[in-house]
């Protein structure tokens, strides 16, 4: 009886999930094994995508400037964006903890998170503009004129890093908020005990704060990796993956295959690859939630 009633309650959400999640996902996987004429081609679409210079360009990576291929660009996103946004988030959360009026600064940092990504993309475009960019103005103040006089998004050497740094500005608010919540959960007694033992501020940070922030760090790392793998909107608006595909990413490549080249099967293969890549962090989150 109980089992039956559970089923009845589950049914509506299961039906919705089946129509809007399970069926499209399975259909995408199905599509990825066929060619445009509907002929079964096995893993051919995957080989095509992975062997394409658009996805991995070893002729240029790592010694020449981008384009290095979308997969490598996504990896660079993770390598640069993840530590930067994580460390900055931690820094702001710790530094702004006991400062008067810090909520205004925190609000400003969090602005990037609440802003629509499309607006964020446009902001990035302007942030690195040679005439009106705030980053360029800063560089000019520091005397780095050769870099300040370039619109970063127009140059293959800088467009990838411009989108990543813009992404850091957008995402830092997220890690800061998570760290702030985690910091407030650390009992004051620990610090008081450390004070009695004569611990310095640095010792307290490395021996109390940092270890107790581990669960929060895991959440930020997983969520950030997911964000970096799926990144699309800000790249689409800021550079459209260019110039010369130098800032292109997997999600944008998938979009181009589907809606520009009308190659839905190859686009499906990229979608499956992206899903597989995001599956690891997603499983970790699911497991943590169950625990």
- Give the interface with another protein as residue ranges (CB under 8 A): 125, 129-131, 150-151, 154-156, 240-246, 256-257, 259-263
- What pairs with residue 40 in β-bridges? 34
CB of 7 to another protein, least distance (A): 30
* Smallest separation, CB 32 to another protein (Å): 17
Assigned token pair, 9: 């309650």
CA distances from 16 to 1, 6, 19, 111, 243 (A): 24, 16, 5, 34, 41
Q: By C-beta, is 140 or 240 nearer to another protein?
A: 240
The single residue listed with the structure tokens 């702004």 is 96
Asked, as a colleague might, if the bond just before 243 is cis with ω within 30 of 0, I would say yes
Question: Which residue lies nearer to another protein by CB, 173 or 241?
Answer: 241
Compute the least distance from the CB of residue 158 to another protein, in Å: 10
* Closest to another protein by CB, 48 or 240: 240
Closest CB to another protein among residues 32, 153: 153
The CB-of-235 to another protein minimum distance in angstroms stands at 13
Query: In Å, what is the CA distance from 27 to each residue of 19, 30, 37, 165, 222?
Result: 11, 5, 16, 36, 27
CB closer to another protein, 131 vs 189: 131
200: left (phi over 0), alpha (psi -120 to 50) or beta: beta
State in angstroms the smallest separation of the CB of 85 from another protein.
27
DSSP state of 291: -
């Amino acid at each position: 009886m109980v089992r039956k009633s559970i089923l009845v309650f589950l049914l509506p959400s299961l039906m919705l999930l089946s129509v809007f999640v399970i069926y499209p996902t399975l259909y995408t996987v199905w599509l990825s094994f066929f060619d445009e004429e509907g002929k079964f081609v096995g893993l051919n679409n995957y080989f095509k995508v992975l062997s394409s210079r658009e996805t991995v360009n070893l002729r240029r990576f790592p010694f020449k400037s981008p384009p290095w291929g979308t997969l490598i660009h996504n990896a660079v996103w993770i390598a640069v964006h993840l530590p930067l946004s994580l460390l900055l988030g931690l820094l702001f959360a710790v530094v702004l903890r006991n400062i008067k009026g810090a909520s205004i600064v925190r609000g400003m940092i969090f602005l990037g998170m609440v802003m629509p990504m499309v607006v964020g993309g446009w902001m990035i475009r302007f942030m690195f503009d040679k005439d009106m960019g705030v980053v360029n103005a800063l560089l000019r103040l520091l005397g780095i004129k050769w870099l300040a006089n370039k619109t970063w998004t127009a140059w293959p050497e800088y467009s990838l890093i411009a989108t990543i740094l813009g992404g850091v500005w957008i995402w830092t608010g997220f890690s800061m908020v998570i760290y702030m919540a985690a910091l407030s959960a650390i009992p004051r007694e620990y610090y008081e005990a450390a004070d009695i033992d004569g611990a310095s501020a640095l010792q307290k940070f490395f021996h109390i704060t940092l270890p107790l922030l581990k669960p929060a760090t895991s959440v930020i790392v997983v969520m950030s990796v997911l964000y970096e793998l799926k990144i699309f909107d800000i790249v689409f608006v800021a550079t459209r993956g260019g110039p010369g595909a130098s800032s292109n990413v997997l999600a944008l490549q998938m979009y181009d295959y589907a809606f520009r080249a009308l190659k839905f099967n190859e686009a499906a293969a990229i979608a499956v690859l992206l899903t597989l890549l995001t599956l690891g962090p997603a499983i970790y989150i699911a497991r943590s939630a169950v625990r």
